[in-house]
Structure 1
């Protein structure tokens, strides 16, 4: 079995207009990609933790039009370290797992939690709360035929607690559920490594051992020392922040990284490179397929 089984792009989050979703999927299919990652958080598919039936049917009909595999991205704000809203976060995640099953999406992306830094006992308590929620949702995911992919994020405030990639690997191992895997976002790891002074490449190598989903996009590993820009192109010009650039526009050494990581079989490689860079997507797809071939060749050799 190939390690990386399909390569593609995320669907740009819309404003609830499902015709825009169809257009976005058509563009991804026309590029010859294998998979599209649905931005379930951006299409008004859930209200108060419940699936909206009519829109769910429309989503399934649209997805069926294209020769693509599907994964899905959960709520950007989803946070299993939030005790006040935890039940609501879990209800929405459960509804998204239902949507995944209905469209045949095999993965639901779940962002790692966020809290205040607090004391060591406090961090242990929110870590435990998140692990319990992940275990509960992974069991629901098992019944839906979906894997939850737990994604590393970066903090944007000095007093914000986020788990590093290596700590996320610890969480996945502690939950120890077959329907929970890690999701490496290389751009996020680069930014957080710079912010915390970590060896981010070592962090990625550690997380790779439990990883079954990948997010690729480029940046310069610079935290948000500025947060307000008149136009998005200004942040690109400065190289600041989570830029989601075409591969090769930043300075992430993807060739070196893919030569040194080992990940789980059945992994999807998703480029989070939006339609703003439509003219560069084809070139990034070629690069991503070459990177996937590097890992797959190593996997075949190991199995021989």
Structure 2
């Protein structure tokens, strides 16, 4: 599509692949699977691969990854390292910023329009307002680098987990992105994460997702019960049995009312809707793709077309 042409209400649907090899030796088979399923995008788990060492991209590995991803009938989005924390203490921030720069280069080399990174968090006794200010400054700088490569940074809302003291509610993240006011710094709206964070804060889930949706260029969908993890478990199956935590369930397995989510979320034109499924439910993937497309159509119905 010509870059000057208006984007459709929903740019496409995709899903996050799960890689078991740090050398991405299993990637070809996973891309073959995605091609057979007919999706528009594949989200690459760059956080799980040996691509960056001490903030520097390994060029030989990136070149191999680029070769392996060529000539497919879909595009790519990239999920960066979960460890990137732009609200980290000032002394640690340069390492996180360098890692983000490296991941921008990775996404640019892959031709990915979107790089997902998690919203920052505070684990110590740092001043909250100062930490948010650091994140705004870091995202503004990184946004300039991303713009030069045609990559949009999509900051994903997360939830508090031990020993995290602070991370933004979706409405707060919306306010931060609005304050940054950079066209290449947008959001990833993770619906289930929003429910978990709203439950923890006793906030209005529907209002929270509605606040962040206009800033999103990427949506992560997966199901849960919006119940923060509280119980000790030995195996993930016990977490599932209790209905607690960030379960990454197939759509329809949890308690999220997806029709209501689609009604409340006025997404920007050109948004990608991406399924993040836990690998233990991978057998459900073929049946999930039609549900994912149907959900994207519902989002599109409530989203203004670009002009």
Aligned to 1:245: 249
Instruction: Please tell me whether the aligned partners of residues 262 and 302 of structure 2 are also in contact (alpha carbons under 8 angstroms).
Output: no
Q: Secondary structure at the match of 1:59?
A: helix
Q: Kindly state the Cα deviation for residue 231 of structure 1 after the two structures are TM-superposed.
A: 2.2
Aligned to 1:137: 142
What's the C-alpha RMSD, in Å, of the aligned pairs? Answer: 1.7
> In the aligned structure 2, how far is the partner of 1:299 from the partner of 1:124?
33
Aligned to 2:297: 293
Instruction: Please tell me whether the aligned partners of residues 190 and 221 of structure 1 are also in contact (alpha carbons under 8 angstroms).
Output: yes
Aligned to 2:152: 147
How is 1:155-166 mapped onto 2 (pairs within 5 angstroms)? 155-157=160-162, 160-166=165-171
Q: Kindly state the Cα deviation for residue 5 of structure 1 after the two structures are TM-superposed.
A: 0.9
Alpha-carbon displacement from aligned partner over 1:75-105 (angstroms, at most 9, x marks no partner): 1111001123211111111111111111111
Aligned to 1:68: 74
Instruction: Please tell me whether the aligned partners of residues 2 and 299 of structure 1 are also in contact (alpha carbons under 8 angstroms).
Output: no
> Among residues 87, 90, 93, which one is paired with 2:97 in the alignment?
90
Aligned to 1:41: 47
Instruction: Please tell me whether the aligned partners of residues 217 and 271 of structure 2 are also in contact (alpha carbons under 8 angstroms).
Output: yes
Alpha-carbon displacement from aligned partner over 1:113-167 (angstroms, at most 9, x marks no partner): 1104758xx2110000000000000010000100000110000137610110000
How is 1:110-121 mapped onto 2 (pairs within 5 angstroms)? 110-116=117-123, 118=125
Q: Kindly state the Cα deviation for residue 53 of structure 1 after the two structures are TM-superposed.
A: 1.1
Q: Secondary structure at the match of 1:187?
A: helix
How is 1:226-265 mapped onto 2 (pairs within 5 angstroms)? 226=231, 228-265=232-269
Q: Secondary structure at the match of 2:113?
A: strand
Aligned to 2:226: 221
Any unmatched runs of 5+ in structure 2?
Answer: 1-6
Cα 1:123–1:168 shift into 2, 3 Å? same
- Does residue 1:99 correspond to 2:103, yes or no? no
Q: Kindly state the Cα deviation for residue 183 of structure 1 after the two structures are TM-superposed.
A: 1.1
Q: Kindly state the Cα deviation for residue 18 of structure 1 after the two structures are TM-superposed.
A: 1.5
Aligned to 2:4: none
> In the aligned structure 1, how far is the partner of 2:191 from the partner of 2:294?
17
> In the aligned structure 2, how far is the partner of 1:303 from the partner of 1:17?
40
Instruction: Please tell me whether the aligned partners of residues 40 and 75 of structure 1 are also in contact (alpha carbons under 8 angstroms).
Output: yes
Q: Secondary structure at the match of 2:247?
A: coil
> In the aligned structure 1, how far is the partner of 2:19 from the partner of 2:135?
26
